[in-house]
Structure 1
Amino acid sequence: MGGARRPDRGGRLRLALLPCHGPLADAPGAVAAVRAALRGAGRGGPAAVPRVTVLQPPLPQASGDAGRVSAPVVSVLMSVRDGAPWVREAVQSLLAQTLTDLEVIVIDDGSTDATADVLASLRDPRLVIERRPHAGLTRSLNRALELSKAALVARLDADDVALPDRLARQRAFLGVHPDVGLLGTGAREVDVTGRELAVVRPAGDDATIRRALIRANPFVHSSVMMRRTVVELAGGYDESLPVAQDYDLWMRMSRLTRLANLPEPLVIRRLAPGRVSAVRDDDRLRAEARVRWRAVRGGAYPWWCAAFAARPLLALALPGGWRRGLRRATRKRGQPRTV
């Protein structure tokens, strides 16, 4: 890097003002109080969400397919719509994981191509497929979450690939870090030919992730593994958000648990042309502004962080080419970016 990097403005102050973690209250109404506060914040209400940490029981031991008598160790959630060219590779990358005690839940979200035939050709007792009328990614993920059985829930997009030891490494990390409820990884970004475009190495520790979270999405959605208890307490994916539903969930989960990333790229993320259209990009910017404003109004960040909520709205006024140029410049400077 040429030259010294500029210091993060207000970095020390921001650390002091970010949410602190403490033990979850033992009172019977604590969980209900958190849920009520999260609902209020989701409606734009001013209620502050209690700053708690959900304490986790030990994770179950992997037993292998032959010894399974109850829930699998990990449930992987996938939604697909018209994904025939890529979905086979995505599912097979999960079924070939070194952690074998898993289930893969695929929601076919009203596909009109050969996706249903491709999925039907994949024969594995760990694969659960449900075909539904088109309802969108957010509702499909909540449906997959509803069908899942494991204490750990992971994600993979239908056009991405998980490296063979991804799930095993994430489970091992969560096994020795019971206070972490949301764990992502780095990713390799490739085009449709497999040519590498970039390597995403997100911030790894809780404090750095929190500083980034109000400014950008510091998680690769397709790489995350989450504790079911925390996801359910946070309320799952917000079905009023057709995009940025992951960013919104991370923001709500951050009030309940610690956050972490494994910086190694354990997922291959395929950036196909048209994956995010110009219209969808506008929707994403509006959703990001909404998510950040909720967080500030709900008490997760100090009031001056409302400036970060305004930034996506300002970006809406820029032509698409200017936006892409700003993203490239942000990536080169190593600043947080939406992933």
Structure 2
Amino acid sequence: MPVPRVSVLMLTFNRPQFISRAIESICAQTFTDWELLVVHDGPNEEIAGIMEGWAAKDARVRYFRRLQPGNIAQANNYGLRQAQGEYVAILDDDDFWRVPDKLERQVRFLDEHPDHVACGGGAVCIDLEGRETLRYLRPEEHTDIVRRALLANPMVHSTTLFRRAAAEQSGFYDESLPGFQDWDLFLKLGRLGRLHNFQEHFLAYQIWEGGGSFKAQRGNTWSAVQIVKRHGPHYRSYPLALAMAWSYYAYARLPLGLRKASFSILSRAKKSLFSPK
């Protein structure tokens, strides 16, 4: 097959009930010059069966099974080393793209703006029944993005398209961090070139207790402290960002029941707080 322009990277571990929905949203894109790399960590045989079916049905789907699980950064970097495309898009296995021309518009934007290294968009949060609970955007222009980038992740990971060469130059995802490796990557990319966020809700983002955001809270909050310290000299609002990072760290160590009861509310509040006004 000819080399695709876009490599879509998807990690999967133990959520077979959602993965076909995510893949179908890729297949529905008006831009068709892509490959999908699904990196499967772990022993779930149902996922293996689903992916073997997809690979047989569509030659653009490439399935990689890693029997020895690693952290998210290791799995992402493994996928990036297999990628052939000039651009890389990300999609989590429990989310899906809700805008059919997402890739087409993002590829056109990066083609026309060589000074930009990545672009993303907004998301609509849904519950397990598919009901909308919140929608949010990130700041649009590079100046506004980097002004707030140390306070919260400036890009929604599963909405992004970035230049593979720039990600390689930045060292890809940091495998030493237990979480928030995407935030660290975008802060590194923001020092190499410009960032952009479309003011459209490209993604349906599922918030639930089985999602990675809830499960990885403790590792994520420790990573937040390290990331803020690491990038503090290069971005604004360092004292406030560090105070916020330590407060997240303390919250993640509260009793499990309290965190479960408050996670969705606080997650929605944070997303709303850091959306452009």
Question: So what's the TM-score if we normalise by structure 1?
Answer: 0.73
Task: Measure the CA separation in 2 of the matches of 1:324 and 1:127.
Answer: 33
Where does residue 218 of structure 1 map in the other structure? 154
Residue number among 19, 22, 31 corresponding to 1:87 in the alignment: 19
Equivalent residue number for residue 145 of structure 1: 80
**In 2, are the aligned partners of 1:215 and 1:336 still within 8 Å (CA)?**
no
CA-atom RMSD in angstroms: 2.1
CA distance in 1, matches of 2:25, 2:263: 33
Deviations 1:155-176 (A, max 9, x none): 0001111232111111111122
The answer to whether 1:308 aligns with 2:241 is yes
| Structure with more of its chain in helix, by fraction | 2
Distance 2:123 2:136 in 1: 5
Q: What is residue 40 of structure 1 aligned with on the other side?
A: none
Shift of 1:137: 1.8
Specify the code of the residue in structure 2 equivalent to 1:159.
D
**Which amino acid in 2 is paired with 1:148?**
A
280-289 vs 251-260, greater mean Cα deviation: 280-289
Residue 261 of structure 1 corresponds to 197
Which residue does 1:8 correspond to in 2? none
Q: Identity of paired residues, percent? A: 32
Taking structure 1 as reference, are residues 241 and 331 closer, same or farther at Cα in structure 2, changes over 3 Å only? closer
Mapped contact 2:151–2:240 kept (Cα < 8 A): no
2:263, 2:24 → 1: CA distance?
A: 35
Q: Distance in 2 between matches of 1:93 and 1:328?
A: 24
Instruction: Extract structure 1 runs of 4+ deviating beyond 2 A.
Output: 276-280, 314-332, 334-337
Q: Using a 3 Å threshold, how does the CA distance of structure 1 residues 273 and 325 change in structure 2: closer, same or farther? A: closer
The equivalent position to 1:102 in structure 2, one of 11, 30, 34, is 34
1:112 to 16, 40, 44: 44
1:324–1:158: structure 2 CA closer, same or farther, 3 Å change rule?
closer
1:273-292 aligned within 5 A: 273-276=209-212, 280-292=216-228
Q: Secondary structure at the match of 2:179?
A: coil
Provide the aligned length of Structure 1 versus Structure 2. Answer: 265
The amino acid across from 2:106 in the alignment is: Q
Aligned partner (choices 158, 161, 167) of residue 96 of structure 2? 161
Unaligned runs of 5+ in 2: none
| Counterpart position of 1:18 | none
Does the residue aligned with 1:182 lie in a helix, a strand or coil? Answer: strand
The Cα shift of 1:111 comes to: 3.8
Deviation sequence 1:123-168 (CA, Å, 0-9, x none): 2110110101212321111111000101111100011112321111
- Displacement of 1:314 in angstroms is 2.9
Greater Rg by CA: 1
Contact 1:73 1:102 in 2 (8 A): yes
* 1:170 and 2:103 aligned: no
CA distance 1:331–1:252, shift in 2 (3 Å): closer
